[in-house]
Amino acid sequence: MIAKVIVDVAAYPIDRPFDYIVPVAMESIIEPGIRVKVPFGNRKVLGYVTGIKNETDIAIDKLKSIDELIDLDPVISSELLDLSRWLAVQTLSYEIDALQVMLPAAMRAKYEKYIDVVDQEKVVDEEFLNLLKGRKRVPLKEADTASLLKVIKNYTSEKIITVDTIVRQQTAIKKVRMIRIEEAPKLHVILESLHSNAKKQFELIQWMIQREGQTFTSKSLLEQSGISPATLKSVIERGAAFEEYVESYREPEAPGMKDVAIPVDLTEEQVVALGHISSSVKSGVAETFLLHGVTGSGKTEIYLRAIKEVLEKGQEAIVLVPEIALTPQMTSRFKARFGPLVAVMHSALSAGEKYDEWRKIQRGEVKVVVGARSAIFAPFKNVGIIILDEEHEATYKQEDTPRYHARDVAIKRAEYYGCPVILGSATPSLESYARASKGVYTLLTLMNRARNQALPAVEIVDMREELRLGNRSMFSLDLAEAIRKRIDSGEQIILFLNRRGFSAFVLCRDCGTVVECPNCDISLTYHRASERLKCHYCGHEEIVPLKCPECTSEHIRFFGTGTQKVEEEITKLFPTARVLRMDVDTTRQKGAHERLLRQFSEGKADILLGTQMIAKGLDFPNITLVGVLAADTTLHLSDFRAAEKTFQLMTQVSGRAGRHELPGEVFIQTYTPEHYAIQLAKEQHYEPFYKHEMAARRQFGYPPFYFVTLVQFSHEDLLKVADFAEKGTRFLKDNLSIDTQIIGPTAAAVSRVNNRYRYQCLLKYKKEPMLTETLQQLIKLYRTKWIKSGLIMTVEVEPMSI
DNA sequence: AGCACGCCGACT
DNA sequence: GTCGGCGTGCTC
């Protein structure tokens, strides 16, 4: 019997199955999806069995045998095995990367090498003997000097010692030590044999006789008997009890918030939308729905009811939410509705906790998973529905290999199971809406809010005008007035600062020098908490200079607006206001996110001030005012999605106000009030925005009219990167059709990051039959030749930004 | 990716 | 003369 194995080595010539002999003892157990330890070259690696066969073309003398099985049951189902192959092709990545991304990080292999002494007599080297200290097995990494490694090499070739590789999972699986007590007759025998001064052991065995045959966790046994661990150990050695280790789950912190929306009657729109989804669930035919509903229209309630139907059919549900929206508020609604049937997967869980959740899914102990992007690979075996909430979010696209989009994977999995995919959003991506318009997806619309509240009144404030009136503060007069009113009446406020591309930088007022990162072509960002300047690209940090590094002037200070600075100004303007600041700095700590939100929901603050992370999903009855401090900051990014992102953000954040009884009000401050993205966000008019933006995309040849692929090059040497970028672009031009636009090579927007110069080449095409093949050839060229010269090249099909 | 094999300069 | 530098080539 021969097994086809994909080995855990990400390299170009290795990216294919290797054949191994299956030892007879393994034949009845082995099947595709099981992991194995195999010899590869002169080392041992982990591999995934992808197929079983009886013949091979490989010469017999070349074939090796599988060393051992890592799993007894497949960890990758046949469905996911096929999906990984598809994923590798789609994203132009190694098959091993596509496989690994499907499993929790804790299951990734870790390699440890040990020296085993075979012939003790012949070990004479003093340094080596010193390393052994009498042991017969020593971790190889303890040998850290060159001379020792040399001795090891010699001893290995003389077969005095061998080097053994242990393949194991990264994080130990949490196990609980269980103690099973023997039967009474045996205990009596042991009791007799005890020495008279072993009083504690005598006591423990008598205690055990009362509980013969029972099993305890070692912890509870020690507590209940009041005996020390040392005594227990001796008693176990005498054979009075067995130890066994049982895999146990960690219990992730229980969310503290209740389901705020008790099941209510559905609106007519909701009934219609749910009806379409239900009939798809029943039909067993894959169908993709775009659920377009204004903020507060009750999309989540539709998800919950659709999932209920799926569970009643005996099937499972996958719910994806953007990481940032994976708040306790969101997950607790699912937990409240489906209780212990829900597994939650988010980045705040430890590697071990993620593994536990994964196991619960795999064992079929849960039926619903709510999670971020990677939860799309949940190891369910009978998926009945897949939901992507806020489907337009860029976080659904993975930034490193395999660069997959969760939406594409969802649709692929749904095809296999013949089940519906629900893409939900108040502001769908243009791609999805275009597909819905063309009938590729089924469009479901919710025009009204579930509790029939009016959408909040949105006012656009022209900050240029404020400036003209002499108001140099970051709060317009109207917004300041509205804030004051809310503080007085005890209502709550959300202030949103879209900091991206608009962070606090340090500028010399005499010579105009901006302090830049020494490794990247970008200005450094001022961080108040640490009083340091940081680079957001490479992580470089330095102290804030007191003098200008160029002209030594002392007139150097920071400009721009960060949340910390806004917080200061709020305290100055509204001394009585209680402010909670939520950004990367205040939420880094585990659980900080939840704590801040809980404080806010309990009314312990008047103002919640934050960045992107407060724009989504929050639902608090007392919020009646939302202020956007500077709406334009996303607008000026050099990206084709800039307007779309701005519109989405404005709509999302506005939707936080007035979701319950109290009416909401929104102020959007901007320096470009005439821009269509801002004007149309005012009324949450998606349709006109869509039409306007589509016209722009058509004109400039961007998605969804054209597909794009981005090829990026980086190198320490500017001349070399320009040269390779030119070569790569030429290769693409020579091999792709004439209708494909090939733009570049051009220097990237941030032309140097971490001391590497960056170039890129952009492909735009409607139909390019040669695309995959040409890109594969380009990658081959890179991986076999160019990579040696220090070039790094990445290819991203359909990037989220360029 | 690793790791060994293999061919040329500086040391006991 | 050997030790060791890292260029080249292979992994079922």
First to last CA, chain A: 49
Is the distance from CB of A621 to CB of A656 less than 8 angstroms?
no
Q: Which CATH superfamily groups domain A2-108? A: PriA, 3(prime) DNA-binding domain (3.40.1440.60)
Q: How much is the pLDDT for A252?
A: 56
Average of per-residue pLDDT across A561-580? 86
Protein residues in reach of strand C (CB < 7 A): A 9, 11, 13-14, 18-21, 38-41, 56, 58, 62-64, 146, 150
Q: Which nucleotide is nearest to A41 (CA to C1')?
A: C11
Tens digits of residue pLDDT in A277-297: 999 999 999 999 999 998 788
Q: CA-to-CA distance for A781 and A24, rounded, in angstroms?
A: 41
Q: CA-to-CA distance for A215 and A561, rounded, in angstroms?
A: 62
Q: How much is the pLDDT for A255?
A: 44
Residue among A646, A585, A638, A649 at smallest CA distance from A614: A649
Tens digits of residue pLDDT in A106-139: 898 888 888 888 888 888 888 888 888 888 888 8
Tens digits of residue pLDDT in A434-473: 999 999 999 999 988 887 777 888 999 998 888 888 888 8
Residue among A451, A505, A461 at smallest CA distance from A671: A461
A787 touches strand B (CB under 7 A): yes
pLDDT band of residue A100 (cuts 50, 70, 90) is very high
> Which positions on strand C lie below 7 Å from a protein C-beta?
4, 10-12
Residues placed in the known binding site of A for Zn(2+):
508, 511, 517, 520, 535, 538, 548, 551
Compute how many other C-beta atoms are within 10 angstroms of the C-beta atom of residue A509.
13
State how beta strands A623-628 and A492-496 pair.
Answer: parallel
Alpha-helical segments (H) within A284-378:
299-312, 328-338, 351-362
Tens digits of residue pLDDT in A311-335: 999 999 999 998 766 667 778 889 9
Residue among A648, A738, A682 at smallest CA distance from A325: A648
Q: How much is the pLDDT for A707?
A: 95
Distance A39 CA to C11 C1' (A): 9
Same CATH fold, A457-503+560-692 and A2-108?
A: no
Residue among A739, A783, A747, A787 at smallest CA distance from A763: A739
Q: CA-to-CA distance for A616 and A327, rounded, in angstroms?
A: 10
Q: Which CATH superfamily groups domain A268-446? A: P-loop containing nucleotide triphosphate hydrolases (3.40.50.300)
- Any residues with CB less than 8 A from the CB of A726 and at least 6 apart, and which? A745
Q: Which nucleotide is nearest to A16 (CA to C1')?
A: C12
CATH, domain range A457-503+560-692 = 3.40.50.300
How much is the pTM?
A: 0.84
Alpha-helical segments (H) within A92-145:
95-100, 126-132
Distance A41 CA to B4 C1' (A): 10
Average of per-residue pLDDT across A745-772? 91
User: Does the domain made of A707-797 have the CATH classification 3.90.1280.20?
Assistant: no
pLDDT of residue A607 exceeding 70, the answer is yes
Q: Which nucleotide is nearest to A156 (CA to C1')?
A: B4
Q: How much is the pLDDT for A262?
A: 56
A43 touches strand B (CB under 7 A): yes
Q: How much is the pLDDT for A515?
A: 82
Percent helix, strand and coil across chain A, each rounded to 5? 35, 25, 40
Average of per-residue pLDDT across A246-273? 67
Distance A717 CA to B9 C1' (A): 29
Spell out the SS3 assignment of A359-399: HHHHCCCCCEEEECHHHHHCCCCCEEEEEEECCCCHHHECC
Compute how many other C-beta atoms are within 10 angstroms of the C-beta atom of residue A134.
5
- Give domain limits for chain A: 2-108, 111-169, 175-247, 268-446, 457-503+560-692, 707-797
Tens digits of residue pLDDT in A500-540: 544 567 777 777 777 888 888 777 887 766 778 888 777 78
In angstroms, what CA-CA distances link A658 with A425, A429, A455, A654? 19, 25, 8, 9
- Any residues with CB less than 8 A from the CB of A207 and at least 6 apart, and which? A225, A227
Q: Which residue has the tokens 């003093």?
A: A126
Nearest-10 crossing angle of helices A686-700, A430-437: 100
More confident site: A765 or A151: A765
A779 touches strand B (CB under 7 A): no
Calculate what percentage of chain A has a pLDDT beyond 90. 48
Q: CA-to-CA distance for A334 and A354, rounded, in angstroms?
A: 18
State how beta strands A316-320 and A442-446 pair.
Answer: unpaired
Distance A442 CA to C3 C1' (A): 72
